[in-house]
Structure 1
Amino acid sequence: MSSPQMILVAGPYRSGTGDDPQKLEANVRAMNETALTLFRAGHLPVTGEALALPLLETAGSTRPGDPLFEEIFHPIAEQLLSRCDAVLRIGGPSEGADRMVAQARAQGKNVYTALTDVPPAR
């Protein structure tokens, strides 16, 4: 067992979706399901989407990639990463998730590439 960690779940959001709302939702669901597993293992899981998407709606963003999206989406994840102990990279190709992994490594944080790699905290 290890100490509880605050772990950023990083996976594809827009990649490969063509910005189809159902595919975007499926990507968020996959991150949330992974986050739930981490929580049940005793960790504090977070996603950039959980913080960014409500702010985007409030700011009036009308579609992924619009100017408000560019202002908020990735910067929120980068700020969140600075507070996390680790990153868990899930899913397929994603430039944004890969950037979170690279930044985590540069900051000396743990990077996990599978749920089974994360030591339980309970």
Structure 2
Amino acid sequence: MTQPLFVLVAGPYRGGTGDDPEKIAANHRAIQQACLQLFRAGHLAVNGEDLALPMAELAGSTRVGDAAFDEVFHPMGRRLVARVDAVLRLPGASAGSDEMVALARARGAAVYTGVDEVPAVTR
């Protein structure tokens, strides 16, 4: 592959955490790690969390799952998935990530389930 892909990394954020802040942070970190791996493989990787969370805070969110959070969080992912070349679905239960995969497939975007499946950019 000679051109970088624009990849949305989708994985559990709240899923399986019981909204425990430490577990959520660990999930978020795993998503960010996957973005870094894709970047190192030559791609432009993004995750909805890093874009949505600051906006949710500006919208007045004070906790995960409140109205301001919900106004921004999943809609950000839906808008991103409409623009990306591919979705990398990380393991773990996540209704939101499953939705991103379904939306990607519906528009014919590639869906990968492991960083190693995404072809590296050759220079």
The unaligned stretches of length 5 or more in structure 2 are none
Q: Give the Cα–Cα distance (whole angstroms) in 2 for the partners of residues 15 and 69 of structure 1.
A: 15
Q: Give the Cα–Cα distance (whole angstroms) in 2 for the partners of residues 2 and 118 of structure 1.
A: 13
1:22 aligns with 2:19: no
Partner of 2:9: 9
Q: Give the Cα–Cα distance (whole angstroms) in 2 for the partners of residues 109 and 103 of structure 1.
A: 9
Partner of 2:117: 117
The unaligned stretches of length 5 or more in structure 1 are none
Aligned residues: 122
Contact in 2 for aligned 1:2/1:119 (Cα 8 Å): no
What is the Cα deviation at residue 81 of structure 1? 1.0
Contact in 1 for aligned 2:91/2:113 (Cα 8 Å): no
Partner of 1:60: 60
SS in 2 for 1:83: coil
TM-score (normalised: structure 1): 0.96
1:46 aligns with 2:43: no
Partner of 1:73: 73
Q: Give the Cα–Cα distance (whole angstroms) in 1 for the partners of residues 111 and 77 of structure 2.
A: 15
Q: Give the Cα–Cα distance (whole angstroms) in 2 for the partners of residues 91 and 24 of structure 1.
A: 14
- Residue-by-residue CA offset, 1:10-60 (whole Å, 9 max, x unaligned): 000011111111111111100000000000000000000010001111112
1:33 aligns with 2:33: yes
1:100 aligns with 2:72: no
Letter in 1 for 2:86: A
What is the Cα deviation at residue 91 of structure 1? 2.4
Percent identical across equivalent pairs?
58
Q: Give the Cα–Cα distance (whole angstroms) in 2 for the partners of residues 62 and 2 of structure 1.
A: 43
Contact in 1 for aligned 2:87/2:110 (Cα 8 Å): yes
